[in-house]
Amino acid sequence: MLVASRWSPAMSTARPHFAPEAALSPRRIEVSLNRASVHWVGGDPVTSHFFNALSALIPPVERIVIRILRDMDRATLPDPLARDIRGLIQQEAWHSRIHRQCNQALALCGYSAIPGLDGWLERALRLVVRCLPRKLKLALPYAFELYTASLSLAVLERGNDWGLEDADTPEGPHKVLIWHALEELEHQDVCGDLLEALDIRRRWGSFAALAIMPVLLTVVALTHLYFMHTDRSLYRPRHVRCYLGMLIRQRGPYGTLVGGVLRRLWRGEADYGNTGRAGVLRALTQFTG
């Protein structure tokens, strides 16, 4: 994988609350999609389209998270946390920008429903957010980060099991995936610290995470199915078996996503995996220039 040389087990402690030395800052990478294949994970349409589906869904979700964080009153937050929230917003905005580039490239390849899906999902999320009580609304960024951090850690530690070692065009979708995964691991403590600073119990975040789980997994699975339908890979028996296996296998992407979220809720803490937070920061240096 792209980060193999920098992603190795290391001893580390959890991020101290409001740690001044742990400031978040955007890493504005650029990607080349000219040579990227739609089936960029080793030519496998099922695994490739799982990550393509995530890319299609990321921009509207991140715009909602950004809006919630921008609209809150940050004047009462500790300065280091307020600074990290600004950094998180900038990172999320760049994530959204890069994924829009990927999605535009996919739309040009015939996946024309992506722009409509983007708009529909954002409108639906806005409606949900407007109906939520204040505490649950402010807990949504924490809830979403539970999902992105869980999947991000799995991509970094288990990605080879899913065929990511065979991903082509290292400056294209694979680079986006690794960069995004590493930065998402930075966010999990920040959103937890935010709840603490706002005197909101984490159970609100836990409730939000559990409440959105069925909807989130269904939307991802259906978008995944749309990609497979569009390029007709859905109608090949071996690909259908692989898709169904991804849905039910405990160590597959969907099982990993659910299991990672439940572990974080049970433990009540962030998880940086074997490498620790220090290893994540070391790996991110390759995207700092």
Q: Is residue 227 part of a domain?
A: yes
The CA distance from 277 to 257, in Å, is: 20
- Residue 81 or residue 31, greater confidence: 81
Q: CA–CA separation, 83 vs 74, rounded Å?
A: 10
Res. 93 pLDDT band, cuts 50 70 90: very high
The count of domains in the chain is 1
Torsion angles phi and psi, residue 40, rounded to 5: -80, -10
User: pTM surpassing 0.75?
Assistant: yes
Note whether residue 14 is domain-resident: no
Residue of 13, 7, 16 lying closest to 190 (CA atoms): 16
Is residue 24, in this structure, part of any structural domain at all? no
- Model pLDDT, residue 171: 61
The pLDDT value recorded for residue 244 is 93
Residue from 180, 174, 161 nearest 245 by CA:
161
User: What is the CB neighbour count within 10 angstroms for residue 81?
Assistant: 18
Structure tokens at 230: 């569009």
Instruction: Collapse the DSSP code of 167 into the 3-class scheme (helix H, G, I; strand E, B; otherwise coil) and give the result.
Output: strand
- Inside any domain, residue 22: no
**Residue 132 DSSP label:** S
Residue 246 domain-assigned (yes or no) = yes
**For position 289, what pLDDT does the model report?**
53
Exposed e or buried b per residue across 151-174, where buried means at least 16 C-beta atoms within 10 angstroms of its C-beta: bbbbbbeebeebebeebbbebbbb
pLDDT tens digits for range 146-167 = 899 888 888 888 777 777 776 6
| Domain that residue 192 falls in | 39-287
The pLDDT, as a whole number, for residue 168 is 61
Q: What is the pLDDT of residue 10?
A: 34
Spatial distance between the Cα atoms of 91 and 95, rounded to a whole number of angstroms? 6
First to last CA, the chain: 20
Residue 17 lies in a domain: no
Instruction: Give the pLDDT band of residue 33 (cuts 50, 70, 90).
Output: confident
Provide the token pair at 154: 């799995």
On the question of pLDDT at 281 being above 80, the answer is no
Residue 20 has what pLDDT?
A: 41
Residues contacting residue 236 through CB under 8 Å, at least 6 positions apart: none
Within a domain: residue 25? no
Identify the pLDDT of residue 167. Answer: 66
Dig out the tokens for 119 from the structure. 């708009």
pLDDT tens-digit series, residues 231-247: 999 999 999 999 999 99
pLDDT tens digits along 181-226: 888 888 888 998 999 999 988 888 888 888 888 888 999 999 999 9
Q: Is residue 11 part of a domain?
A: no
